Amino acid sequence: MFKLVILVSAVTCALAAVVPESLSPHIDGRIVGGNEGNINQFPYLVSIQRNGQHICGGSIYNNYIIVTAAHCVQKIPTNELKVRAGSSTWNSGGTLLNVAAYRSHEGYNPTTMENDVAVVRLLTMLYYSTSIGTINLGTWLPSNGASAVVVGWGTKTYNGVISDTLQYINVNIISAAQCASSTYRYGSSIKSDMICASATGKDACQKDSGGPLVSGGYLTGIVSWGYGCAYEGYPGVYVEVSLFREWIINNAKTV
């Protein structure tokens, strides 16, 4: 046993020596690099679940409608989906509701991730409380450098385990033009309907997708994609919500 411990330590040290600091996963964090939060601070946040497992975040638009990413729900039968609202923990508490229907954006492109937005209609209504409430849809293009918060139950490292309790991080918004510039490494993968956000050692990660990026009290972004999580030069990429404001309002009425 003792020999095994020494062997594992030696391998870990050897790995630490060869993996460049900029690409090594940040193993100290949450969401990645986050703090534990309480749902009363983020009453608009929900957990979207498939067959009892948390798969994505979402935001409450009204008593019946959740806004999320198209890639979260695409092709999943509605009877396999549920939404938990009003709880800091994805697996217990609050209220767990069935899904009546959802609609992904007609222009959603899984290759480029353009138009990665969807609305989900709950089968029964949400009752607002201190832990359940709405968030306003963003109405303007967020400015480069604006501060924002991201929250979710996603993995604490890339390909790591998800968090039982919600985690949040404060990040700074990066405009599409900035994010596609040579300051970062995505280049032309950043399309005009996307924005980025980053802070050193902090990022959204897998299964934070669909969840909210909130700035100034408005839903500014939807967690969409990224290369790894919290890797230098690769900010988190988000749907730019103000561009989809009309689509969300109209489709919330008809889904």
Instruction: List, by residue number, the catalytic residues.
Output: 71, 116, 209
Q: How many chain residues touch ligand 4AZ (CB under 6 A)?
A: 11
In the bound complex, what is the minimum distance in angstroms from residue 5's beta carbon to ligand 4AZ? 33
Task: Assess 163 for contact with ligand 4AZ (CB under 6 A).
Answer: no
Per-residue binding string, ligand 4AZ, 169-208, x by CB under 6 A, is ----------------------------------xxxx-x
In the bound complex, what is the minimum distance in angstroms from residue 238's beta carbon to ligand 4AZ? 9
Among 236, 26, 213, residue whose Cα is nearest residue 113: 236
Per-residue binding string, ligand 4AZ, 205-234, x by CB under 6 A, is xx-xx-------------x-xx--x-----
Among 44, 12, 62, residue whose Cα is nearest residue 214: 44
SS3 176: helix
In the bound complex, what is the minimum distance in angstroms from residue 155's beta carbon to ligand 4AZ? 8
Cβ–Cβ < 8 Å for 242, 138:
yes
Q: Which helix (H) or strand (E) holds 14?
A: helix 2-18
In the bound complex, what is the minimum distance in angstroms from residue 76's beta carbon to ligand 4AZ? 15
* Residue 169: both structure tokens together: 């991080």
How many other CB atoms are found less than 10 A from the CB of residue 12? 10
| Closest residue to ligand 4AZ, based on beta-carbon distance | 226
Which of 105, 236, 240, 251 forms a contact with ligand 4AZ (CB under 6 A)? 236
Q: Residue 227 corresponds to which amino acid?
A: Y
- Residues of this chain, 45-64, that bind ligand 4AZ according to CB under 6 A: none
* Residue 155: both structure tokens together: 């993995």
Please calculate the CA angle 105-109-111 and round it to the nearest 5 degrees.
155
Please calculate the CA angle 228-162-29 and round it to the nearest 5 degrees.
65
Q: Which is nearer to ligand 4AZ, 139 or 159 (CB)?
A: 159
Q: Which is nearer to ligand 4AZ, 47 or 131 (CB)?
A: 47
Alpha carbon distances (Å) from 43 to 6, 58, 151: 47, 11, 11
In the bound complex, what is the minimum distance in angstroms from residue 35's beta carbon to ligand 4AZ? 17
Residues in the site for ligand 4AZ, rule: CB under 6 A?
Answer: 203-206, 208-209, 223, 225-226, 229, 236
